[in-house]
Amino acid sequence: MSEVKTTKPIKKRKIKLDENLLAYRGVWVYIESERGHVHPVSWELMGQGRQLADQLGVELCAVLMDAAGPALDAHCNSAFHFGADRCYRIASPVLSDYRNVPFTKALTDLVNAHKPEILLLGATTLGRDLAGSVATTLRTGLTADCTELAIDPEDRCLLSTRPTFGGSLLCTIVTLNYRPQMATVRHRVMPMPEPQPERTGLIVDFDPGLIETDIVTKILEFIPDEMRDKPHLPYAEIIVSGGKGLGKADNFKLVWDLAHVLGAEVGASRAAIHAGWIGADRQVGQTGKTVRPALYIAAGISGAIQHRVGMEGADCIIALNNDPNAPIFDFAHYAIVGDCNQILPALTRSFGTYLSKPETKVVMETAKELA
Amino acid sequence: MHIVVCIKQVPDSTHIRVHPVTNTIMRQGVPAIINPYDLFALEEALRLKDKHGGRVTVISMGPPQAAPALRKALSFGCNDAVLITDKIFSGADTLATSYVLASAIKMLNAETPVDIVFTGKQTIDGDTAQVGPGIAKRLELELLTYVSRINAVDRANGQITVERRAEGGVQVLQTRLPALITMLEGSNELRFATTPNMFRAARAEIRHWDRTSAGIEDLKLVGLKGSPTIVSRVFGPTPRAEKAVQIDFDPSNPEAACEALLAKVLAESPRVKKELAQRLPGYQED
Amino acid sequence: MSEKFDVIIVGAGPAGNSAAYTLAKAGLRVLQLERGEYPGSKNVQGAILYASSLERIIPDFRETAPLERHIIEQRLWMMDEKSFIGTHYRSDDFNSEPYNRYTIIRARFDKWFSEQVQAAGALVICEMTVRALLRNEQGRVIGVEVEREDGKIYADAVILADGVNSLVATQAGLRKDIQAGNVALAVKEMIFLPKETIESRFNLAGQSGVVIEMLGSITEGMVGTGFLYTNKDSLAIGVGGMLSDMKAQKTTPVELLERMKAHPSISPLIAGGETREYAAHLIPEGGYKALPQIYGDGWLLVGDSAGFVNSVHREGSNLAMETGRLAAETLIELLQAGTEPSTANLAGYKARLDESFVMKDMKKYQKIPETLHKRRQFINDYPPLLNGAAHKFFTVDGQDKRSKEKEIIASFVKRRSLFGLLGDAYHLWRATR
Amino acid sequence: MIKVEEKLFQNRYRVDADLPHIRVKDNTVCNDLCSTQQCTVCCPAGCWTFEAGKIGLMTDGCLECGACRVVCDEFKNVDWNYPRGGYGILFKFG
């Protein structure tokens, strides 16, 4: 990361593309699949890629790598449904499971052959590993974990915006006189596009000439994750937190009930931990954990800045508090003013109904068409 | 066994505050620390040294003021520290950085052959996670990223077996040394330095390498010139102005408010809707 | 093999740094241990630097030391709920080099001082917390033990500069723990404002600065003071009261500070500022009478660790530097002559202190703590009386001046009685001899 | 009125996860014998609380001033120490 300058926008250097870089056209999205299963971030990127391609007036291409077979072909079709004009298909037994060297060689050769101007990958452990090596091999620019991608109308450059300094700031990064412009984006940042089943397109096969015996790294086995018991607050997508406003220790049970129905992690404010109602490893805030979930439900938490710092990155904050001017209402998205010990059970029932967990009565269909 | 650990001195970003009202960056008095992710790499390297013997060299590219970070790394038990510092390196992005570090490691390799290079998963100020892969590519090292555990190191025939975090599980990989490893955060816990090591670190002389001693051949590839990307604008996230949407709550009929809330959330937050959809029984990620 | 030094210094505040610098300059093998991440990370002070003491240690400190503003105006306010009466002494003499007093920011200043100590040859190691003293069979202190593995470190003598809590000496049984009646608890904030705003609000130019000491209503009946010091682009504001007083009432330090900041004479000075740090610290206030035994077999106490603070004049860092230097000079003389730093031989430290302003000032004001403690009127009655008198005197309402004077005198007599007034004057005079 | 958390928010801490440096020697002394709980008033960081007849201590916001130890002079019930080297409050200005 180059030095952070003041917040005034720096006059961007006028980028003059070398002659040979003008040939780089088209927006590519790397479709990441492991064990026959495409990671949803790839489809989200297809939606974003479609917009960029339309703005640039160029083709959107999907890149798929796997052992030959029905799964690979099905994924190509899905890529067309999600907006691809063309699919580059690289089928090789060497690519059945992800390993850095073969995948880097295949993607690099493909890029050198067909010269895209933009290459997008998911910011998964696979995507970041691959992007890092490919960018270095191609000697080009790469911006990671972007939260926003746009085209600069003046010079058709990709403007990648991403958090920096631990998320307290955002910065916009530009790739200069290098192509392709590479960027990775995290899962659930870009909206999922609607598939159009009638779309189809051109499949282009590419053979990077991979030989298994050349590859040094061997995969011995794959161990799937079992259920985690240790609190995983930093990675949780839904968190239900309780604070002093709950009144007493056993009301925390209501927080656990709602969390159970939502498959969520349980967090707490410093005051609740101070009162000894829950373990300190569940503290969200300045001296606890920083979380960035999709949904954060705060029950009986005043929302003092020390707590706010740890959770204001949440996508959707629901605040339950009986004090109408609790500070949390200044930055929460939704607020219910009332007694948490009444609201929480009601919320548990409503979400339970919606998610049609066994203990709820409502018929499956209503849940389905709501989904 | 000769292990090289790359670390970076970064501002303690948990302490960079954006003033909630004026939206300016408050950098006043923000101290510098070792990039937290690098500490997991450092600990793993020291554990390998404890088990298999050998030396750990810690290196960093940065301004002269980055020396204390290396001195701190020495206090945990590293044997040698090199600060690669030169005015023309400043402003480097990850590509230029990996070029400089790779050159320096080549020089170290000439002194004593290097078996493993460790880097942190990413930095808290850059978060790009590209320096590790970049160095591996330039030095033709096998790349093992997001490693959560090192199962075995077989020095006799130069083999290493690790567990690498992947989506939904862990890959057990075996590959040939020399290799470059980036450690996943939380994979170990940093040791509490012993008194002798604190003394050694306090007395140690930190080697300073400039462009020549680091073996830099092509000056065009370093610093701002060698960086394909530049930061064109830094700004604070626009604080949410509007107040929370109030949903009135009638204690006699708590369900009503909750149903209204649920409907609103599903309508207005696609991410939450998707998240909830995934928790529907029988949901198959297509 | 364990480490051996001539002298180990515990703590890297002004006292510890002065001792380490002086010893290292004399060529002794010195080890300084600091428990914080960097020198200054655990130290809190108003903070005013007194050039005279530092000049004796590092004469050219002004060239490299991080100094905020040189002080050209001293204000003393006696405060009532809505007003203050006080004296402002501002002189252009203070504006000519070499400046006499500066405001500083301790985290930066201590770091700079420590760099000088290291340059002088001392070995400084941070993040090392001393847990105990090592003693030989005769009970002489022969080193320290830190909490890290193999933590025993040996030396001929140990200087304890570990601050007001003086934990090492207390836990080693060399002194009694500090008492609530001998220390004040002060809380402080660093409020950041643009340089120009500070300069316009305090009528300053360039690097000149103003310091304000406050007495009266802001400590809400407790014996204590408040302060407001100007730095380059920040204001240090704080208030403190005797811990024994704080223990006897219900206001928390945070409430005390917030109400002080809201005082009509103070809030405009800090308006629009951004608080970036909140700190708290105990300050030795017991004076001469509370001084513990400051040296013994193989050990010496310096700075706050011994309680060397002259609270009447708000002086602490100069006493710390002075005692640090004098302790070092005592040891240099002994160790270079090869004599044991025994209790008897270390008496030279006390002798040097008695000759210096340190003991003279401490003795001069030894009765002050007790006087203020017993005679609350100096804090509770006189400020409102003086404010009331000033208000009446300066209100032009057609009342003739003679009757105004009569009423003012009557207000004093009514509040304190004639005998009380004379008693107060006498006790104040006696307490400052 | 400003809550103490609002103040501590700006400070820099390195919390020594499960090694609190201050401990209550015997809770029953605080809960049953002590009548004033002055530590809850004097602590500038609000680490000490007394609710529902029980003393509470959380040291992660501690400013290491020592007031709680000194104030508890009647029962001497506070086991007070500095955090491990490099941990606890780290003043940016001081």
Residue-wise pLDDT for A260-297, tens only, equals 888 888 999 888 887 778 887 788 887 777 787 889 99
Angle at C61 between CA C58 and CA C62, to 5 degrees: 155
User: C50 CB contacts (<8 Å, ≥6 apart)?
Assistant: C100, C101, C315, C317, C318
Contact between chains at D69 and C177 (C-beta distance less than 8 A): yes
Q: Which amino acid does the sequence have at A266?
A: V
Q: Give the pLDDT score at C49.
A: 95
Pairing of strands D22-24, D78-80: antiparallel
A7 located within any domain: no
**What is the least distance, in Å, from the CA of A123 to any CA of chain B?**
10
Residue, of B24 and D85, whose pLDDT is higher: D85
Enumerate residues 27 to 56 of chain D having a beta carbon within 8 A of any beta carbon in chain C.
36, 38, 41-46
By the 8 A CB rule, do A293 and A257 touch? no
Q: Does domain C3-68+104-176+292-355 have CATH number 3.40.718.10?
A: no
Residues of C in contact with D90 (CB under 8 A): 36-37, 41-42
Name the residue range of residue A75's domain. Answer: 19-214
Report, as an integer, the average pLDDT of D16-24.
Answer: 89
Residues of C in contact with B31 (CB under 8 A): 37-38
> With pLDDT > 70 as the criterion, what percentage of chain D qualifies?
98
Q: Give the pLDDT score at A277.
A: 85
Instruction: Give the number of beta-carbon pairs within 8 Å between B and D.
Output: 13
Tokens 């340089």 sit at which residue?
A: C195
Residue of A287, A290, A312 to mutate when probing chain D, most D C-beta within 10 A = A287
What is the CATH code for B2-221? Answer: 3.40.50.620
Question: At A332, which CATH number?
Answer: 3.40.50.1220
Q: Give the pLDDT score at A10.
A: 46
* φ and ψ at residue B179, rounded to 5 degrees: -140, 160
Would an 8 Å CB–CB cutoff place B19 in contact with chain D? no
Question: Which residue is closest to D84 within chain B, CA to CA?
Answer: B192
Q: Which amino acid does the sequence have at C363?
A: K
CA distances from C408 to A175, C291, C380, C384, C414 (A): 78, 42, 17, 12, 10
D66 located within any domain: yes
Q: How far apart are CA C233 and CA C129, in angstroms?
A: 33
**Number of Cβ within a 10 Å radius of residue C1:** 4
Residue, of A356 and C50, whose pLDDT is higher: C50
Q: How far apart are CA A211 and CA A207, in angstroms?
A: 11
Residue ranges in A65-164 assigned as alpha helix (H):
70-81, 100-114, 125-138
Contact between chains at B169 and A343 (C-beta distance less than 8 A): no
By the 8 A CB rule, do A58 and A149 touch? no
Q: Give the pLDDT score at A13.
A: 57
Angle at C180 between CA C175 and CA C183, to 5 degrees: 80
Pairing of strands A86-91, A202-205: parallel
Domain boundaries, chain B: 2-221, 242-286
Q: Give the pLDDT score at A9.
A: 45
Q: Give the long-range contacts of residues A320-326, CB within 8 A, separation 24 or more.
A: A320/A344, A320/A347, A321/A245, A322/A245, A323/A245, A326/A245, A326/A301, A326/A302
**What is the least distance, in Å, from the CA of A249 to any CA of chain B?**
22
Q: What is the tens place of the pLDDT at every residue in B113-172?
A: 999 999 988 877 666 678 898 899 899 999 999 999 999 999 898 999 999 988 778 899
Q: Which amino acid does the sequence have at B103?
A: S
Helix (H), strand (E) at residue B117: strand B116-120
The domain tally of chain D equals: 1
Two structure tokens written together for B4 = 């090289």
Measured CB to CB, residues of chain A less than 8 Å from chain D are 270, 273-276, 280, 286-287, 302, 304-307, 309
Q: Looking at the structure, do residues A200 and A247 belong to the same domain, yes or no?
A: no
Name the residue range of residue D30's domain. Answer: 24-84
Domain boundaries, chain C: 3-68+104-176+292-355, 181-284, 369-431
Looking at A214, A248, A275, which one is the last position of a domain?
A214
Q: How far apart are CA B139 and CA B215, in angstroms?
A: 14
Looking at A181, A214, A247, which one is the last position of a domain?
A214
**What is the least distance, in Å, from the CA of B29 to any CA of chain D?**
6
Tokens 């106490």 sit at which residue?
A: C301
Contact between chains at D13 and A287 (C-beta distance less than 8 A): yes
Q: Looking at the structure, do residues A52 and A189 belong to the same domain, yes or no?
A: yes
A223 located within any domain: no
> With pLDDT > 90 as the criterion, what percentage of chain A qualifies?
44
Residues facing C209 on adjacent strands:
C71
**What is the least distance, in Å, from the CA of A102 to any CA of chain D?**
43
Q: Give the pLDDT score at A7.
A: 41
pTM summary value: 0.87
The domain tally of chain A equals: 2
Would an 8 Å CB–CB cutoff place C250 in contact with chain D? yes
Q: Looking at the structure, do residues A141 and A238 belong to the same domain, yes or no?
A: no
A129 located within any domain: yes
DSSP A150: E
Tokens 């992800």 sit at which residue?
A: A98
Residue B12 has its nearest CB partner, among D12, D84, D93, at: D12
Residues of D in contact with B14 (CB under 8 A): 12
A146 located within any domain: yes
Q: Looking at the structure, do residues A119 and A247 belong to the same domain, yes or no?
A: no
**Number of Cβ within a 10 Å radius of residue C363:** 14
Q: How far apart are CA C182 and CA C291, in angstroms?
A: 10
Contact between chains at B198 and C125 (C-beta distance less than 8 A): yes
Residues of B in contact with A159 (CB under 8 A): 232
Residues of B in contact with A145 (CB under 8 A): 127-128
**Number of Cβ within a 10 Å radius of residue A40:** 17
Q: Looking at the structure, do residues A210 and A251 belong to the same domain, yes or no?
A: no
Closest by CA to C190, choosing from D1, D10, D45, D5, is D10
Taking the alpha carbons at both ends of chain D, their separation in whole angstroms is 24
**What is the least distance, in Å, from the CA of D92 to any CA of chain B?**
6
* pLDDT by 10s per residue, chain C, length 433: 689 999 999 999 999 999 999 999 999 999 999 999 999 999 999 999 999 999 999 999 999 999 999 999 999 999 999 999 999 999 999 999 899 999 999 999 999 999 999 999 999 999 999 999 999 999 999 999 999 999 999 999 999 999 999 999 999 999 999 999 999 999 999 999 999 999 999 999 989 999 999 999 999 999 999 999 999 999 999 999 999 999 999 999 999 999 999 999 999 999 999 898 999 999 999 999 999 999 999 999 999 999 999 988 889 999 999 999 999 999 999 999 999 999 999 999 999 999 999 999 999 888 888 888 888 888 888 899 999 999 998 999 889 989 999 999 999 999 888 888 999 999 888 888 7
**What is the least distance, in Å, from the CA of B265 to any CA of chain A?**
8
Two structure tokens written together for A23 = 């040939």
Contact between chains at C178 and D84 (C-beta distance less than 8 A): no
Q: How far apart are CA A146 and CA A123, in angstroms?
A: 9
Q: Give the pLDDT score at A367.
A: 38
D8 located within any domain: no
By the 8 A CB rule, do A188 and B272 touch? no
Looking at A183, A214, A245, which one is the last position of a domain?
A214
Closest by CA to B99, choosing from B195, B17, B217, is B217
Helix (H), strand (E) at residue B154: strand B142-154
Q: How far apart are CA A277 and CA B261, in angstroms?
A: 28
Q: How far apart are CA A86 and CA A79, in angstroms?
A: 9
Helix-then-strand count for chain B, H and E: 7, 15
Contact between chains at C127 and B198 (C-beta distance less than 8 A): yes
Closest by CA to B41, choosing from B140, B100, B119, B133, is B119
User: B107 CB contacts (<8 Å, ≥6 apart)?
Assistant: B209, B213, B214, B215
A341 located within any domain: yes
Two structure tokens written together for C191 = 């409020």
Residue of D60, D63, D90 to mutate when probing chain A, most A C-beta within 10 A = D60
Q: How far apart are CA A130 and CA A121, in angstroms?
A: 9
Q: Give the pLDDT score at A8.
A: 43
Burial class (CB in 10 A: 0-12, 13-18, 19+), C135: middle
Residue D91 has its nearest CB partner, among C177, C179, C277, at: C277
Q: How far apart are CA C227 and CA C191, in angstroms?
A: 13
Q: Give the pLDDT score at B25.
A: 61
**What is the least distance, in Å, from the CA of B26 to any CA of chain C?**
9
Q: What is the tens place of the pLDDT at every residue in A156-193?
A: 899 999 887 766 678 899 988 889 999 999 887 788 88
Residue D8 has its nearest CB partner, among A280, A302, A306, at: A306
Question: At A65, which CATH number?
Answer: 3.40.50.620
HEC readout, chain C: CCEEEEEEEECCCHHHHHHHHHHHHCCCCEEEECCCCCCCCCCCCCCEEEHHHHHHHCCCHHHHCCCCEEEEEEEEEEECCCCEEEEEEECHHHHCCCCCEEECCHHHHHHHHHHHHHHCCCEEECCCCEEEEEECCCCCEEEEEECCCCCEEEEEEEEECCCCCCHHHHHCCCCCCCCHHHEEEEEEEEEECCHHHHHHHCCCCCCEEEEEEEEEHHHCCCCEEEEEEECCCEEEEEEEEEHHHHHCCCCCHHHHHHHHHCCCCCHHHHCCCEEEEEEEEEEECCHHHHCCCCEECCEEECHHHCCCCEHHHCECHHHHHHHHHHHHHHHHHHHHCCCCCCCCCCHHHHHHHHHCHHHHHHHHCCCHHHHHHHCCHHHHCHHHHHHHHHHHHHCCCCCCHHHHHHHHHHHHHHHHCHHHHHHHHHHHHHHCC
- For helices C14-25 and C106-119, the axis angle rounded to 10 degrees is 10
Closest by CA to C326, choosing from C297, C295, C298, C369, is C295
What is the CATH code for C181-284? Answer: 3.30.9.90
A335: helix, strand or coil: strand
Residues of D in contact with A305 (CB under 8 A): 5-6, 9
| 3+ Cβ–Cβ pairs closer than 8 Å linking C and A | no
Question: Which residue is closest to B30 within chain C, CA to CA?
Answer: C276
Q: How many CA atoms lie within 13 A of A173 on its CB side?
A: 30
Residue B31 has its nearest CB partner, among D10, D84, D92, at: D92
Q: How far apart are CA C7 and CA C20, in angstroms?
A: 9
Whether residue A369 is predicted with pLDDT greater than 60 in this model: the reply is: no
Q: What is the tens place of the pLDDT at every residue in B242-258?
A: 677 888 888 888 888 88
Residue of A11, A15, A148, A165 to mutate when probing chain B, most B C-beta within 10 A = A165
Q: Give the pLDDT score at B238.
A: 67
